[in-house]
Amino acid sequence: MANKYSLGLTITRILICFIIIKNMCFYLPLAEDYFGLNGIFPYENYIEQMNFYGLKFLTYPYHLPHFPFIFILTIILLATLYMLAIGGRFVGVMLYFTIIILKIRNGFILDGSDNVIQVVLPFLVLADNLDHFRYFKKKENMISNFISKYSVIFTYAIMIQVCFVYLFTGLAKHEGELWRNGTAVYYTMRVRDFMATNWNIPLTRNHYFVVILTYFTMFWELAFPFLVWFKKTKFWVFTGGFFLHVGIWFFMRIDNFSWVMLSTYFVFITNEEFLRFQNKKLKVFIDSWCPICRKFGNKIKNVDFLNLIVLEDIRNSKIISKELRNKGLLSMASIDDKGKSSFGFDSILRIAIRIPVLWLVVPILLLLKLTKIGNYVYEELAVKRTIIPIHCNEDCKIKTF
């Protein structure tokens, strides 16, 4: 029986392998300094730790010249193979153990993201994440078939682990005085190591900004483990998580943790939900006599990675009513999967919602919509747009689905 989460598991596998490869590429030039005999974490402490954990058999000879370099290359190779599903679960298990061996050598350079990868990977290997994005065709074997029967259980294990991360970080924050009094974000954004932009200081002067974000972070983390299980609340929780993690990355340059956590969200999405999402296509009607509109349409299509935008020339469209056509010629029309039509700035907002690279500007667009500034600016531009009422040659073609 196929796992109903197989698509999400595949995306998580690809993203996590990509993050591992990226990290290892960073380690490579400093391999000896991070992990070698004279590495920045004392070698004798590493040996001590291995003995303490009773893991002498996993001790890697980091003290030999070039071995740290070879070891990191091995992890890159394993992660690449696993990303392409070559070698199946065996490669996954190998990857897991190599990561553990590396972690124990120098735990001080690792961060929360390495920890998440380490605890998620064993269950990811057991869950069926190898159905899609394969370099070779899947071969059936007894062990694999046996484990696959229980794949959904391991998928839930990943979900529970992700919930644990948020629940315990939320609970830990709840104990902190600075989180409870609503000022924690002020300190996190101003501490020199995490002050990534020049906006951090002016933004944290505003007490509304600080207090709202502090409480949002804490309550969102505490709410995640409870709301993520319900269809109605799941995607709202993910949206909050997206803005939280992207914000952390942008303002504090904590990248890995943000990306790893976001990549685990896909595990929660069923194949059915992915397909339903694919049906949420938006038909956008472009005026082919307007060069700016054509340019806009082509640009949108270039970044429409989810393939959710369908462009159609409003002047030649046969599916649009006369009334809609006349209105659409004045301001850009769009029709969603439920047949609901929107015009002008509303169409732009709907387009932005369907294109992940534009999600960062969605809050600004929402604000412009609420204040009606967006509609005003759009109308100004739409009225003043150039219209060339001649038959188009091939240069004015817009990409259509």
Partner 1 sequence: MTNMIFQDLITNVMNTLGRLKKPAQVLVKFGIIAILIVHYGILFLHQLNENPIQHEYKYKLHSYVDPFFSQAWTLFAPNPINTNMSLLMRFNYHIEDSTSHETEWLDITEPLIKDRKENFWSPAQRISKFTQSCMSNVNDNHRLILEQITNVDSLAKDTIKAKSFYKNALMTTYGHKSLLQYSKYIARSYFSENNIQVERVEIRYRILNAKFPRFSKRDEDYYNLNNYAFNEITSDYYLIKNIFYNYGE
Site for partner 1 contains 34 (CB under 8 A)? yes
- Residues in region 331-390 near partner 1 by CB under 8 A: none
Nearer to partner 1, 10 or 106 (CB): 106
For position 124 contacting partner 1 by CB under 8 A, the verdict is no
Q: Which of 135, 136, 176, 373 binds partner 1 (CB under 8 A)?
A: 176
Q: Does residue 57 belong to the site contacting partner 1 (CB under 8 A)?
A: no
> Among 59, 115, 144, 233, which residue interacts with partner 1 (rule: CB under 8 A)?
115
Contacts of partner 1 in 255-284 (CB under 8 A): 255, 257
Smallest separation (angstroms) from partner 1 to the CB of 23: 8
Of 155 and 347, CB closest to partner 1: 155
190 to 229: interface string for partner 1, x by CB under 8 A: xxxxx-x----x--xx-x--x-------------------
Q: List the one residue from 72, 104, 159, 314 that touches partner 1 (CB under 8 A).
A: 104
- SS3 string, the chain, reads CCCCCHHHHHHHHHHHHHHHHHHHHHHHHHHHHHHCCCCCCCHHHHHHHHHHHCCHHHCCCCCCCCHHHHHHHHHHHHHHHHHCCCCHHHHHHHHHHHHHHHHHHCHHHCCHHHHHHHHHHHHHHHCCCCCCCCCCCCCCCHHHHHHHCCHHHHHHHHHHHHHHHHHHHHHHHHHCHHHHCCCHHHHHHHCHHHCCCCCHHHHHHCHHHHHHHHHHHHHHHHHHHHHCCCHHHHHHHHHHHHHHHHHHHHHHCCHHHHHHHHHHHHHHCCHHHHHHHHCCCEEEEECCCCHHHHHHHHHHHHCCCCCCEEEEECCCCCCCCHHHHHHHHHCCEEECCCCCEEECHHHHHHHHHHCHHHHHHHHHHHHHHHCCHHHHHHHHHHHCCCCCCCCCCHHHCCCCC
Which range, of 27-35, 229-237, 288-296, 374-382, touches partner 1 by CB under 8 A? 27-35
According to CB under 8 A, which one of 18, 33, 247, 315 is a site residue for partner 1?
Answer: 33
Contacts with partner 1 in 308-327 (CB under 8 A)? none
Chosen residue from 21, 178, 223, 310 binding partner 1 by CB under 8 A: 178
What is the full DSSP assignment across 262-279?
Answer: HHHGGGGS-HHHHHHHHT
Told to check if 177 binds partner 1 by CB under 8 A, we report: yes
Regarding 247 and contact with partner 1 (CB under 8 A), the answer is: no
Instruction: Out of 135, 136, 150, 229, name the contact with partner 1 by CB under 8 A.
Output: 150
Nearest distance from residue 245's CB to partner 1, in Å? Answer: 12
Q: Per rule CB under 8 A, is residue 292 in the interface with partner 1?
A: no
Q: Are 21 and 77 in contact (CB under 8 A)?
A: no
Judged by CB under 8 A, does residue 168 bind partner 1? yes
Contact with partner 1 (CB under 8 A): which of 59, 74, 118, 375?
Answer: 118
Q: How far is the CB of 149 from partner 1 (least distance, A)?
A: 7
Q: How far is the CB of 46 from partner 1 (least distance, A)?
A: 11
61 is a contact residue toward partner 1 (CB under 8 A): no
